[in-house]
Amino acid sequence: MTITEKILAAHCNRKEVSPGDLINAKVDLVLANDITAPIAITEFKKTGAKDVFDKGRIALIPDHFAPQKDIKSAEQCKALREFSREHDLSLYFEVGRMGIEHALLPEEGLVVPGDLIIGADSHTCTYGGLGAFATGVGSTDVASAMATGECWFKVPESMKFIYYGKLNKWVSGKDLILHTIGDIGVDGALYRAMEFEGETIQTLPMHGRLTMCNMAIEAGGKSGIIVPDKITEDYVKGRAKRPYKFYTTDKDARYVETREYDCSKIPPTVACPHLPSNTKPAAELFEITIDQVVIGSCTNGRIEDLREAAEVIRGRKVNPNVRMIVFPATQKVYKQAMKEGLFDIFIDAEAVVSTPTCGPCLGGHMGILAKGERAIATTNRNFVGRMGHPESEVYLSNPAIAAASAVLGRIATPEELK
C-alpha cells in the first residue's frame, strides 16, 4: 500500500484498503475557521449531540477576517468563542494567541505524522508535509465529526511525483509545486493523493514541504503527502503534543500515474491570472507592472519565507508606485522576525507589517485590490476576484520574486537588482 492507504486503513481498523473503497475512519483532529466554523456549529446543534467527541481534538481558529474587520466578521468570530467556551475546547486560538491555521497547528505540534486530519478549509492538505493524511471537507462533515470523531472517505488513487537534481538559486518548494501544477493543470490530480518524493524532496526543508502539500488542492488533489524522514523527525521532535507514527510506502505500491521532474531545469516560477496552472518563468514576465505585493499566507508566511524576502529587499526601497504588505503567519513567526530585525528591513524599505491574518489572500481585508489593479503575492490562489475586484489580477510567486518585484515595480528576479 501507499502511505495514504496505510494511514486510512489504520484509522478504520482494516488491514488494507484500496482506491475507491468507501470507509468510515476515526479522525485525530478536526479544524475550522471563522468562515466555516459558524456553519458547522449550527449543523452540530441540529444533530442533537450534547457534547463534542473530544474537547482536545477540535481546533477553532479565527484567522480569515481576524482581527475582526466589520460587524459581520465580529459575529462570526463570536460564534467560535462562545461554542469553545460552552464545550470547554482547549484548541480555541483567540487573536493574540492565534495565527494562520495551517502554519499554527504544525508549529504548535498539534498535527503530527501519521494523523488523519479534516478541516473545513481546502488548504488543510498542508499537513501532508509531515506525513499525515489531511484533507479539506465541508462544514457539515466537520459538524458530524465534532459529534462522532469520525468521517467518511472514498480512498483516493495515489499519483507519484519524483523530483531530482539540484535546485537553482531562489527556487523553493513554491516553485516546484507551481511548476507541477503548470504541468498537470488544476484538475490534473482530481481526487488523488499527490505523493511527492525523490532526492530533491529528501533535502527539502519542512517549510518547503508544507508549501508543496498546501497547494495540492490547486491541482484538484484530495491531499498532498511526503513520506516522513529525518527532516520530519527533527521538526516534530520536541514540539509534538502527542505520539506520532511514521508510515512509509511499500516498494510495490500502485500509482495511477508517475511523473518525474529535473529540478535543475526549473526556474523561479510565477502563476499568471487567473489559474495557478497558468505558469511562466518569472524572468519572462518583466513587462508586467504591479500595484501591490503580498508576502505571507498559509503557503509562504513562515519565518524562512520572511527571511528570504528580507534578504532580497535589504537596503532597498519599495517602488513608489507599489505598496508592499508583509503578513507573518503566526505570533511566534512575528516575534522571531522582530527579534532578527526583519521588520526593520521591511519598514526601512517602506513596506508595512501586519498582524497574523489570512487578510487579502481570500479578498478578506488589509490589502483588497481595486478595479484594474495587479498584485504579485506569495499566496496560493489567483482566481478571478480572489483578492478583491473581479477586474483585478493576481500573480503567484515565491517570496524572493515578490520582494524583487516590489523594488522594481514590475515582476522581477533578485538578479535584476543592482
What is residue 111's predicted lDDT score, i.e. its pLDDT?
Answer: 97
- Residue 100 CA: distances (Å) to CA of 246, 333, 338, 367: 26, 11, 18, 16
Please give the single-letter amino acid code of residue 102.
H
* Domains in the chain with CATH codes: 3-261 (3.30.499.10), 268-416 (3.30.499.10)
Using only C-alpha atoms, the chain has a radius of gyration, in whole angstroms, of 20
- In order, the DSSP letters of 48-79 are T-SS-S-TTSEEEE--SSTTT-SHHHHHHHHH
CA neighbor of 396 nearest in space, from 214, 226, 258: 214
What grid cell was written down for 310?
A: 528580507
Beta bridge partners of 260: 162
Residue 213 grid coordinates: 502539500
Q: What integer pLDDT is reported at residue 9 of this predicted model?
A: 98
DSSP string, 299-344: HH-SHHHHHHHHHHHTT----TT-EEEE--SBHHHHHHHHHTTHHH
Report pLDDT for 98. Answer: 86
Question: What is the structure's pLDDT at 418?
Answer: 75
Q: Tens-of-pLDDT digits for all 418 residues of the chain? A: 999 999 999 999 999 999 999 999 999 999 999 999 999 999 999 999 999 999 999 999 999 999 999 999 999 999 999 999 999 999 999 999 989 999 999 999 999 999 999 999 999 999 999 999 999 999 999 999 999 999 999 999 999 999 999 999 999 999 999 999 999 999 999 999 999 999 999 999 999 999 999 999 999 999 999 999 999 999 999 999 999 999 999 999 999 999 999 999 999 999 999 999 999 999 999 999 999 999 999 999 999 999 999 999 999 999 999 999 999 999 999 999 999 999 999 999 999 999 999 999 999 999 999 999 999 999 999 999 999 999 999 999 999 999 999 999 999 999 999 7
Dihedral (Cα; 295, 300, 304, 310), 10-degree rounding = -10
**According to the model, what pLDDT value does residue 153 have?**
97
